[in-house]
Structure 1
Amino acid sequence: MEKYLALILLIIHILHLDVGNGNLLRQRRQDYYEDDYYPEEEDYPTNGGEEGPVTVYKNGKIYTVAGSDWWLSPKTAVVVADGKIKYVGDDASAENLAVAGSKIVDLGGKTVLPGIHDVHQHPLEAGDDIVSCQLDTDTSPNILKDYVFDCAKKASPTEWVLGNGHSIRALLDYLKTGGPSPRALLDSVVPDRPVVMLEETSHSVWVNSKALEKAGFLKGVANPSGGVIMKDSTGEPNGILLENAGNIVMGIALDPNTYPQLLKKQYDGLVYTLGVLAENGITSVVDARCYWKRSSHETYEKVKKDGLLTSRAVLALWAYPQLPDSQIVDLKALFSNTDPMLRRNQIKVYSDGLLDSTTAAMFSPYKIELGLGLGTGNTGMNYFTEGCLFMRLNAYADEKE
């Protein structure tokens, strides 16, 4: 029965996920700690939670996903003790394992499945409430600027106005109208604070002049490694930053060294997301973009230390195009693969961009020219120069095999 011990119990109503605890988790996310970055023991639910020494779940449809015909003959009962599944089989045998104080749960024909493994998520980024502005995907920037104006009135943990959700296509279509630049649109509603709106795919951002100043992206500045500063006909940045140029601004806006209050936001957001994952039966995740320069990996460690990491997590550490290749030393130092609940054994590398913005690397030039400054006959771009970091990463991967 050892193969069953790794299964985590998930009870699902057919065609309906029970998300009744969602409001409670959202409230917890809003209840900020007044005095300490670390939570009090009673503030968050802990692992486990079994009532009594043994819990027997019976009268269900138990799918173990074991064997070649598991879907044809579901079991009916599960016995859980000490947080582990000790038995899967029939009701009578399960009830025989009950002891004094055991809890008996009648599933009423509900389905029980092993936990779901999600190999590409962004739990920490998805859960925090640092971003206050949610933009519509295909709405004109002329209308979206009014959304940003309203968002700037909301409370924010820093001076930045942060948002997301718009599409790069909407911004590029707007450029064809010949109206004020996207930068000027944001300046007209928020002239005195830096604004950055993350596009829906996270491959670009829309910023105002204050944000460009924070990043040093002024007239005459060359494109950063792996990124593009879009410019108008006079050479002024127009407020659209593609690929790593946008990542650089987001890194400034979310830098915990500058804004240490964001660490608590990260913590609260991750715990919130873990609750949502549990509600939906997701018991293992890969955080496919862990920004170690923002201390994201340390937030995971704190959550685990406090007994709140309710999903197994694998962290894919972000490779920064603007950093020298020597960052491989830092990435190697962060490697960890021994704890089954939390591992840092992947590196996330963006290769190139997107077709919509003509930054995806191609063999032949694009038929449209967006003025990205990528040379005559634009064939897209790469985040890293060929043969540098990639070679060192490959060597590192071979070393770990």
Structure 2
Amino acid sequence: MATADVIFTGGAIFTGSGEPISGYAVAVTGDRITALISASEIDLYRGAETRIVDLDGALLSPGFQDAHIHPTSGGVELLQCDLSASEDAADAVGRISAYAAANPEVEWISGGGWSMDHYPGGNPLASLIDAVVPDRPVTVMSRDHHSLWANTAAIRAAGIDASTPDPEDGVIVRDADGNPTGTFHEGAGELFAAHRPAPDADLVYQGLLRAQDEMLKLGITGWQDAMIGTGAGMADALDAYLRALDEGALKVHVVGAQWWERSGGIEQVDAMVARREKVAARGAEKLTLGTTKIMVDGVAENQTAAMLDPYRDGHGHVTDNAGLSFIDPEALKQYVTALDAAGQQVHFHALGDRAVREALDALEAARAANGPTDGRHHLAHLQIVDLADVARFAELDATANLQSLWATHEDQLDELSLPFMKDGAVMRQYPFGDFVRAGVRLCSGSDWPVSSADPIAAIHIAVNRAVPGSDREPLGGEGQKLDLATVFASYTSGTARINHRDHDTGRIRPGYLANLAVISPNPFELAPGDIHTATVQSTWIDGEPVYVRPELVGAAAER
């Protein structure tokens, strides 16, 4: 019997599904889990050099895996003009002013993280930035990366004026005379792409490393990067990942979702397969490119999410706007069928109920043409799903990719989305409970930097459908709440399956990689309203600690 290098004992163990088990220990040898043993068997695996980790009542879980995240853009924004912590419009402007003063050498200021609910109609004005930075171009992305805020200097530098038409996939917010006022939704933000300097390669690399450090603190040991390519104001991350591989700096395992250019066509399929195979030829399991990301629609806050029913205006009257389908639905069927046949997983951004239906129709066409495959296709965001389409997920083996942190009443939803949706739409928001009852597979992601990457914060909301301390009714009603074990599984074994890494990650079982998170207090022993108080104490990858909570360094966490 092999002597273990590490043994975790003294706490409950979430194995990747079901309720946690108690009275067991986990033995690790090298980078693998050796055995799940009873406490009485520990001495059989203990050697002179064995490290005994006393959980002291904490929960041992597989490392979390994020199924939809933008690490490099999030990391770069932390290193640029970061507005993600802004509490209101004045705070955001103050942060822009402070960044400009601290970085006089930056000729074009970039960054992001502002919240639409801080501005009337979700549309900040160029004049707000002009008041503090009138002489340099400034462009900052919204926290959801579906809108861009620019000052007058940037608008002039890009040559945008009243005569500039709206692109097919975007909207320029204008005054009564047609002049741009400072906000550019969706594809309109790309009007600046040829004029603002792109982040240099070293900045993108440093952003990746910064993001990895942030994710390890949260117990995240793997992710699916939802955009490898350029678009939505983000830099292509592939070179940064390859550099991290070459330098031995990439600790997590990553699935890269190659960005589908909606202005392009089916010729992209062959290019993506070639790129996938080129990376695979390096023989590095930590990075694969077997996924394609397709944006089907926009977001509800700027009324570009594709809906079955038109949006209402500010007076409750029905308009002629039902959002945008970024790709013609018939073309989408063709593209998805070709990707599926080529062995590419499809990762859909589908937020409105019409977008969800169009994505499912495309998967249905692919199934009819190709038969069942192991594509493990998934739809992310899913703000509104028509009840008639819920059961189709399971029928088509489509996974629901949950961003649980959004499934609660908050200002952006309550002020910028719900008032403009059809009557009764509040009961169809993020219908997680419906998915479970219909037998739909789940995975979970954050969409960071759109929102916090903290899995425990998202898990809290999935269980409660309300933010901590809220006295509001749960969004969508009690029936859309998830039980804790289901959400934990979606963030571990569920995402491992989506990432085609369920053969060696996402569970605590012999032969699997020792990618683990220690969480205290044990969330399964907390009242539902207290789940958010749990925190990651340490994160382990390949049997080695890659993060230890600072106050625990040097503490008696081992014996």
Q: TM-score, normalised by structure 2?
A: 0.52
Matched, 1:318 2:266: no
Aligned twin of 1:352: 297
Q: Deviations over 1:278-298 (max 9, x none)?
A: 233222211123335733012
CA distance in 1 between counterparts of 2:208 and 2:247 reads: 12
CA distance in 1 between counterparts of 2:302 and 2:116 reads: 7
Shift of 1:363: 4.0
Change (3 A) 1:97 1:388: same
Aligned twin of 2:247: 306
Shift of 1:204: 0.5
Aligned twin of 1:235: 178
Aligned twin of 2:33: 85
Is the 1:135–1:163 contact (alpha carbons within 8 Å) kept by the matching residues of 2?
no
Change (3 A) 1:346 1:174: closer
| RMSD across aligned positions (CA) | 3.4
Q: Deviations over 1:82-128 (max 9, x none)?
A: 22222221345333334454444444444322222221222222223
Matched, 1:65 2:15: yes
CA distance in 1 between counterparts of 2:31 and 2:104 reads: 40
Aligned twin of 2:220: 282
Which runs of 5 or more residues in structure 2 are unaligned? 344-372, 374-559
Which of 149, 155, 172 does residue 206 from structure 1 map onto?
149
Which of 322, 328, 331 does residue 272 from structure 2 map onto?
331
Aligned twin of 2:204: 266
- Which structure is richer in relative contact order (CA contacts within 8 A, separation 6 or more)? 2
Change (3 A) 1:188 1:58: closer
Matched, 1:182 2:125: yes
Other structure's SS at 1:120 match: strand
Matched, 1:139 2:88: yes
CA distance in 2 between counterparts of 1:251 and 1:95 reads: 65
Is the 2:83–2:92 contact (alpha carbons within 8 Å) kept by the matching residues of 1?
no
Is the 1:130–1:162 contact (alpha carbons within 8 Å) kept by the matching residues of 2?
no
Other structure's SS at 1:80 match: strand
Pairs within 5 Å for 1:245-256: 245-247=188-190, 249=192, 253=196, 255-256=198-199
Which of 167, 177, 180 does residue 115 from structure 2 map onto?
167
Residue range with higher mean Cα deviation, 245-254 or 54-63? 245-254
Change (3 A) 1:386 1:210: farther
Change (3 A) 1:356 1:87: closer
Other structure's SS at 2:154 match: helix
CA distance in 2 between counterparts of 1:103 and 1:385 reads: 58
Aligned twin of 1:153: 101
Is the radius of gyration larger for structure 1 or structure 2? Answer: 1
Aligned twin of 1:218: 161
Shift of 1:317: 1.9
Aligned positions, number: 332
Shift of 1:138: 6.6
CA distance in 2 between counterparts of 1:244 and 1:234 reads: 22
Aligned twin of 2:187: 244
Other structure's SS at 2:24 match: coil
Q: Deviations over 1:296-347 (max 9, x none)?
A: 0121121122222221111122223345664444333322585532111222
What amino acid sits opposite 2:340 in the alignment? A
Change (3 A) 1:133 1:82: closer
Matched, 1:119 2:64: no
Q: Deviations over 1:353-394 (max 9, x none)?
A: 233322222344433289xxxxx8333223234433552243
Shift of 1:272: 2.5
Q: Deviations over 1:20-48 (max 9, x none)?
A: xxxxxxxxxxxxxxxxxxxxxxxxxxxxx
What amino acid sits opposite 2:68 in the alignment? H
Change (3 A) 1:392 1:286: same
Is the 2:80–2:110 contact (alpha carbons within 8 Å) kept by the matching residues of 1?
yes
Which runs of 5 or more residues in structure 1 are unaligned? 2-52, 176-180, 257-261, 371-375
Other structure's SS at 1:387 match: helix
Is the 1:58–1:91 contact (alpha carbons within 8 Å) kept by the matching residues of 2?
no
Other structure's SS at 1:193 match: coil
Change (3 A) 1:377 1:224: same
Runs (4+) of structure 1 exceeding 6 A deviation are: none
Aligned twin of 1:43: none
Residue range with higher mean Cα deviation, 290-299 or 204-213? 290-299
Change (3 A) 1:222 1:331: farther
